[in-house]
Amino acid sequence: MNAFTPLLAIAGIFIGLLVWSHVFRISTGIAAAVKQTDLAGLVGELTRATIYKVLAALFVASCVWAALFGLFAVHFAGPNVSLHGWAWFFGGAAATPAIIWLTTLRSLKRLKFFGKPHAT
């Protein structure tokens, strides 16, 4: 391992974030077309139940994403492969859901969905 290989993990994270954003955009477009609703208009009507459904879908997608890219990373980390840099790259891509979860939970806390219970 040289000093360049950890940079491949960072590149994998950035590429993973780019691909994740495109997958998210395409999936929300398909959902809007199937339901024939404007999803942007529904953002103001978020409830806890809606947030939990979105978080459940995000969790399933994150597990699939991490498993897929984790398998690629394990494959390239094997003893028969001479390109171990790909293991770092796909390992970084597999770490993308962790960043997505951190930013999602932080933004939900800022929107006060997971803060202290409000007196109603």
pLDDT in tens, 8-24: 888 988 998 898 888 88
Task: Tell me the backbone φ, ψ of residue 49, rounded to 5 degrees.
Answer: -65, -40
- Is the per-residue pLDDT at 120 higher than 70? no
Domain assignment present for 118: no
* CA–CA dist 6, 53 (Å, integer): 35
Domain assignment present for 46: yes
How many domains in the chain? 1
Task: Tabulate helix, strand, coil % of the chain (nearest 5).
Answer: 75, 0, 25
Domain assignment present for 116: no
Percent of the chain with pLDDT over 90: 1
Domain assignment present for 20: yes
Domain assignment present for 18: yes
Structural domain including 86 reads 5-110
* CA–CA dist 80, 96 (Å, integer): 26
Asked if 69 and 92 touch (Cβ cutoff 8 Å), the reply is: no
